[in-house]
Structure 1
Amino acid sequence: MTAVQSSGPLRIGNASGFYGDRFSAVREMLTGGPLDVLTGDYLAELTMLILGRDRMKDPNRGYAKTFLRQMAENLALAKEKGVKIVANAGGLNPAGLAAALRELNLDVKIAHVEGDDLIARADELGFENPLTANAYLGAWGIAECLNAGADVVVTGRVTDASVIVGPAAAHFGWARDDYDALAGAVVAGHVIECGTQATGGNYAFFREQPIGVPGFPIAEIHADGSSVITKHPGTGGVVNTGTVTAQLLYEITGARYANPDVTSRFDTLTLTQEGPDRVRISGVRGEAPPPTLKVCLNRLGGFRNETTFVLTGLDIEEKAALVRDQLETALKPHPPADIRWTLARTDHADADTEERASALLHVAVKDSDPKVAGRAFSGAAIELALASYPGFHVTAPPSDASPYGVYTASYVDAGEVPHLAVLPDGQRIDIPRAAETSLLSEVDEPALPEPLPDGPVRRVPLGRVIGARSGDKGGNANLGVWVRSEQAWRWLVHRLTVAEFRLLLPETHDLTVTRHLLPNLWAMNFVVEDILGEGVASQARFDPQAKALGEWLRSREIDVPEGLL
């Protein structure tokens, strides 16, 4: 992929939104229609922990083994069709994955990008004994590999959008300071990197059109950085301004979205429905990137265990109090460091099935000692079987304790992190840090539109009016909401304040909540700090990745102007 100035779009598809996504997607994308590049995102915060534990068992592991199997089945086809492959499946060992790909003995040129792994320098950089420590690199190492003729580029921890930005920058010959074009590619990359979430997967308004099994997304990127989001013809799902908006809001904070190569202004973009399953993204403005790189740190936090007591029929609260007191008394000689109880009142009065008559009392424990969280807890819980509330049983008996991880984010000066492109011939190219940087700051809150005039209202679930998508960033939850008319926006922006948000979601009442407005999308994003404790791997909450937080918000009832219904 030699750098060229091209008037036509570069068609970049995605075939993986996480480690464990649909295995057949690579072949589906290669056979479903024309592509220039096929990308895959295999790395999440939790995935880095999983790969770290793999590497502890075998230093030669640490990459996404699924990707290697996918390439064994499909790389010859990609070569035949002239499709380049770019993926972050290298995880903690991109060189090892590149070597494994060469052992497939196919006539392809393999390159990789490394330098993100900072574990050997953890003490020097002030990290506290992590299992993994990986900086988020940008797109220019990928571009260097492609310009050197690579057919496949695998990376370690790059930003999710970088696997899309790199091919676009190489193809169109962008300069490091072509910020608007780069920002447009970052936005396109952000939309397609989570796979089918852009084509109707996990979509709030899924009842409005058939979803089936959604096809994976494609970004047709143009030389100016504008793009059209689409999918192969005949595949399931849908691409419309709603599905694209939902993904734009996913796991961001405010209007400035920082990447190592450019900061994209999400408050400048425009979405246009160009036709069936075709949404144009245009007008994205870019700024110089920040001077620091984010570092994903995972460490082993200790050991956890859990069980769920089933409480049936009458006196649910009293039964819960009895078993809780009994178990905590039994654990008193050596109590776990952390014990959490959650009572889910799933029971119904005068129920016609036993299951509908039952509530669930969940208890989870954590401790640094696997014996305390393991045998001591499990034994104490099961020993109550004939000595507690009437109807005692559990959904599954507790077992041995399992290790859990803790995620934290740190930041280091970009100059502290090597960024190396290892070309197909083995040559190692240093990628310089950005020459121009700018400290990241919040965008001034935009002027609010005039509120709707007073009129009749009806109490309905908020989801009758708004869409939502939520997710995790470390211990924080992001919850993006949007509406589909200017009238609804005029109502929402005045009605759904931080105070109202806390009232609707009482679990956020004592937490720091920040609201970010994106009037160009008739959208806002709420960041809820520390609701997920020490991150998804610590399993601190019923919904540890906050995936359904938005749907909870949509289910809450509120007075809505009748004109919006």
Structure 2
Amino acid sequence: MSAPLRIGNASGFYGDRRAAVREMLEGGPLDVLTGDYLAELTMLILGRDRAKDPARGYARTFLAQLEECLGLAHDRGVRFVVNAGGTNPAGLAEAVRTLADRLGLPTVVAHVEGDDLLPRAAELGFGEPITANAYLGGFGIAACLRAGADVVVTGRVTDASLVVGPGIAHFGWGRDDLDAVAGAMAVGHVLECGTQATGGNLSCFAEHPVEQLLHPGFPLAELHADGSAVITKHPGTGGVVDVDTVTAQLLYEITGARYAGPDAVARFDTVRLTLDGPDRVRLSGVRGEPPPPDAKVCLNALGGHRNEVTFVLTGDRVGAKAALARAQFEAALDPRPAELVWSTVGVQRPDADTEAGASVLLRAQATDPRAEVVGRAFSGAAVEMALASYPGFHLTAPPGGGSAYGVYTPAYVPQTTVPHVAVLPDGTRVDVPAPAVTSPLADLPVPPPAPAAPGPTRRAPLGAVARARSGDKGGTANIGLWATTDEGAAWLAAAITPDTVRALLPEAADLPVTVHPLPNLRAVDVVVEGLLGQGVAASTRFDPQGKAVGEWLLGRTLEIPLRLLPPDDGALP
């Protein structure tokens, strides 16, 4: 097998560690350095930036990173592939050229465009969104790299395309190389969130020394021609790469066993993970299927305006204090907001040894189409209660004006209607044709759960035998659960049913729940539709992106076989 292509990651979101680009360039050899700067909410932010200034709309932090490190990348022969172009990839590409000229560095720049469907929103039946961007694949990136680009800037491609594109360019994959492309998609999914693959946000973090997790290194993959790879990190960097860290990221926000992209569908139920040495995990066996005929489109529209106030309730009689605060506050609201949601954080502990420990937070969150209804008059109504309400009254913040919020909605259009254009370094525009062979996307059939093996049980937290990683897809929460042994995985697959999930998570009691088994990963993937409302920008939920739903689930108790429980399982007496 030929030498692998070494692809690293230096950004998992807009706002990630600024020093990561330098760390990855200095840490060891690389061929390509990727950066993922986009999410549904980020597209909304960048879309509003561009609406204010047509020259904006891209992730400006990438330019700052390049200014510090472009010379280092040039000396080491590392190429960049980033989606930092956001809603204006052409603008960022031009800004990179200007920067390189100012630094005196010979840098060849290309970009990918065509994802922006906003000018065609009415034609495509999208209404009046703020942004409308199709998720593009990796073949446009590959065309730019083959034309000699040192820096490839994209807008809204799939996160995995940042790895798929370099794989196509380096190994010569075509549309028929579905297994190889699907393998690269799985690798790209592991790398896309940066240090989440090297120990960040890991549910079993306590199994590793704190010193090891203080400053996790960013991940890289040694990608092979067949689409398999070794996930690792630069020697001597912090964090850890093991089967748990890679499993956690594989399960993150996938919503089922078929992981769809515009170039292929990766069968995550075929992924195999094996240790390949310290901080090295081999990812192999991924089967690919033809991509769906439709491209996914990220729509962001103005949803209305929002505001919130948080009351602090201290000591005893918390329930009565909350009731008084709610009654007074709601009586003062005229007009009443279209949506007013109350929630509490914490439990009553009047004998706590600190005032903070003896306090409970009462949050009032409001949304309304009318900005004035949830503006300063809303928060001011809470301030006016200061001398006329429950004993110990105070708020966590002074009054503030409301803010606009967006609503993310996925849409789908035929891939053939989406222009996918590689703008090469010399300005040549190369149209990337849609895949000729497609297949409608469908979930794999979910087999009925196997009956649980007989034997004595004990009530204990799910976290005694399982690990978790959770996140969001719009208003849907995704929770990956996995075990570390075959026996634990068999129990998990039998025990975690939709009804079990609804019982453990009362907030999901009336919601659609699907559980997808992933036996190769000793895992199940749980999808709860509607748990997050209309998505992060519009959600009034305490955890609007569902990042901690998995941890909540691990803390819930159920009957677990004694044979699976460790001695210090935290089981209930």
* 1:92-131 → structure 2 map (5 Å cutoff): 92-104=87-99, 105=101, 106-131=105-130
Q: Deviations over 1:134-171 (max 9, x none)?
A: 00000000000000111110000000000100001100
* Residue in 2 that maps onto 1:231: 233
- Contact 1:306–1:398 (8 Å) recurs in 2: no
Counterpart in the other structure of 2:204: 205
- Residue in 2 aligned with 1:401? 402
Answer whether contact 2:10 2:34 (CA < 8 A) is retained.
Answer: yes
Distance (whole Å) between structure 2 residues aligned to residue 163 and residue 345 of structure 1: 42
Which residue number in structure 2 is paired with residue 551 of structure 1? 551
> Which shifted more, 54-63 or 339-348?
339-348
Partner of 1:464: 464
Q: Say which SS state the counterpart of residue 327 (structure 1) adopts.
A: helix
Structure 1 position 267, deviation (Å): 0.7
Whether 1:371 aligns to 2:372 is: yes
1:299 aligns with 2:301: yes
Change (3 A) 1:447 1:169: farther
Contact 1:303 1:401 in 2 (8 A): yes
Give the aligned partner of residue 534 of structure 2: 534
Which residue pairs with 1:423 in the alignment?
424
Deviations 1:53-112 (A, max 9, x none): 111211110000000111111112111111110000000000000000000112010000
Is residue 71 of structure 1 aligned with residue 66 of structure 2?
yes
Partner of 1:143: 142
Counterpart of 1:560 in structure 2 is: 560
Whether the aligned pair in 2 keeps the contact of 1:466 and 1:481 (CA below 8 Å) is: yes
Shift in Å, 1:451:
3.5
Q: For 1:405-437, what per-residue CA distance to the aligned partner results, in whole angstroms no more than 9, with x for missing partners?
A: 111100001111100000001100000000100
* Structure 1 residues 316 and 531, CA gap change in structure 2 (3 angstroms): same
Q: Which residue in the other structure is 1:3 paired with?
A: none
Separation in structure 1 between the aligned mates of residue 198 and residue 95 of structure 2, nearest angstrom: 32
Question: Counterpart of 2:503 in structure 1: which amino acid?
Answer: L
TM-score normalised by structure 1 residue count: 0.97
Q: Secondary structure at the match of 2:388?
A: coil
Given that residues 305 and 398 in structure 1 are in contact (C-alpha distance below 8 angstroms), is that contact kept between their aligned partners in structure 2? no
Contact 1:254 / 1:525 at 8 angstroms: preserved in 2?
yes
Distance in 1 of aligned mates of 2:548 and 2:196? 14
RMSD (Å), alpha carbons:
1.1
| 1:48 aligned onto 2:50 | no
| 1:505 and 2:505 matched | yes
Pick from 220, 224, 228: which aligns with 2:222? 220
Residue 324 of structure 1: aligned partner: 326
Q: Higher mean Cα deviation, 503-512 or 443-452? A: 443-452
Question: Match of 2:316, SS?
Answer: coil
Deviations 1:10-63 (A, max 9, x none): 000000000000000000000100101000000001100110111121111000
Partner residue in 1 for 2:391:
390
Deviation sequence 1:331-352 (CA, Å, 0-9, x none): 1x31111111002233313222
| Secondary structure in structure 2 of the residue aligned to 1:47 | helix
Name the CA distance, whole Å, in 2 between partners of 1:307 and 1:270: 48
Return the alpha-carbon distance in structure 1 between the equivalents of residues 336 and 454 of structure 2: 58
Deviates more, 1:351-360 or 1:276-285: 351-360
Q: Within 5 A, what are the aligned runs for 1:478-497? A: 478-497=478-497
The one-letter amino acid paired with 2:460 is V
Q: What is the SS of the residue equivalent to 1:299? A: strand
Which residue identity does 1:72 align to in structure 2? E
2:20 maps to 25
Structure 1 residue 498: deviation in Å? 1.1
SS at match of 1:381: helix
Could you say which residue in structure 1 is the equivalent of 2:338? 337
- Which residue of structure 1 aligns with residue 247 of structure 2? 245
User: Structure 1 stretches of 5 or more lacking a match?
Assistant: 1-5
Aligned to 1:60: 55
- Verify the 8 A CA contact 2:10 2:21 in the aligned structure 1: yes
1:145 partner SS: helix
Deviation at 1:458, TM superposition (A): 2.7
What does residue 514 of structure 1 align with?
514
1:380: how far off? 1.2
Q: Which amino acid aligns with 1:494?
A: A
**Aligned twin of 2:568:** none
- Structure 1's 223 and 447: CA in aligned 2 closer, same or farther, altered over 3 A? farther
Q: How far apart are residue 397 of structure 1 and its match?
A: 2.2
Q: Give the whole-Å Cα distance in 2 for the aligned partners of 1:155 and 1:273.
A: 34
- Further displaced range: 438-447 or 121-130: 438-447
Q: Which amino acid aligns with 2:221?
A: A
**1:16 maps onto 2:11 in alignment:** yes
Q: Tell me how far 1:269 sits from its aligned partner.
A: 1.4
Q: Separation in 2 of the partners of 1:451 and 1:486?
A: 14
Q: Percent identity?
A: 65
Corresponding letter in the other structure for 1:316:
V
Partner of 1:189: 188
Determine whether 1:176 maps to 2:178: no
In structure 2, give the amino acid aligned to 1:320: A
| 1:375 CA displacement | 2.2
Q: Is the 8 A contact 1:346 1:356 kept in 2?
A: no
| Aligned-partner residue type, residue 191 of structure 1 | V
User: Aligned with 1:355: secondary structure?
Assistant: coil
Contact 1:450 1:490 in 2 (8 A): no
Q: Work out whether residues 386 and 393 of structure 2, in 8 Å CA contact, stay in contact via their aligned partners in 1.
A: yes
Tell me, in whole angstroms, the C-alpha distance in 1 between the residues paired with 2:446 and 2:496.
15
Give SS of 2:537's match.
helix
In the other structure, the counterpart of 1:161 is 160
Q: Supply the AA of the counterpart residue of 2:506.
A: P
- For residues 207-227 of structure 1, give each alpha carbon's deviation from its aligned partner in whole angstroms, at most 9, with x where no partner exists: 111322110000111011111
- Residues 470, 549 of structure 1: 8 Å contact kept: yes
Paired residues in the alignment total 558
Structure 1 residue 531: Cα displacement: 1.3
Q: CA deviation at 1:460?
A: 2.1
The match for 2:443 is 442
Q: How far is 1:453 from its partner?
A: 2.9
Secondary structure of 1:487's partner? helix
Tell me the distance in 2 between the aligned counterparts of 1:449 and 1:509: 23
8 A contact 2:316–2:349 mirrored in 1: no
Query: How far apart, CA to CA, are the structure 1 residues paired with 2:357 and 2:18?
Result: 37
Q: Distance in 1 between matches of 2:529 and 2:511?
A: 6
Moved more, 69-78 or 225-234: 69-78
- Structure 1 residue 449, shift from structure 2 partner: 5.6
Q: Is the 8 A contact 2:183 2:284 kept in 1?
A: yes
Number of the residue aligned with 2:82? 87
CA distance in 2, matches of 1:398, 1:295: 37
Matched, 1:256 2:251: no
SS of aligned partner of 1:34: coil
Please say if residues 314 and 350 of structure 2, whose CA atoms lie closer than 8 Å, have aligned partners that are also in contact. no
* SS of alignment partner, residue 44 of structure 2: helix
Q: Distance in 1 between matches of 2:330 and 2:437?
A: 58
- Of the structure 1 ranges 445-454 and 64-73, higher mean CA displacement relative to structure 2 is found in 445-454
Q: How far apart are 1:318 and its partner, in Å?
A: 1.1
Equivalent pair of 1:452/1:487 in contact (CA under 8 Å) = no
The verdict on how the C-alpha distance between 1:345 and 1:28 changes in structure 2, with shifts beyond 3 A counting, is closer
Question: 2-side partners of 1:552 and 1:521: how far apart?
Answer: 22
CA distance in 2, matches of 1:345, 1:107: 57
Q: Which residue type is aligned with residue 332 of structure 2? A: A
CA distance in 1, matches of 2:92, 2:405: 26
CA contact (8 A) 2:496 2:515 kept: no
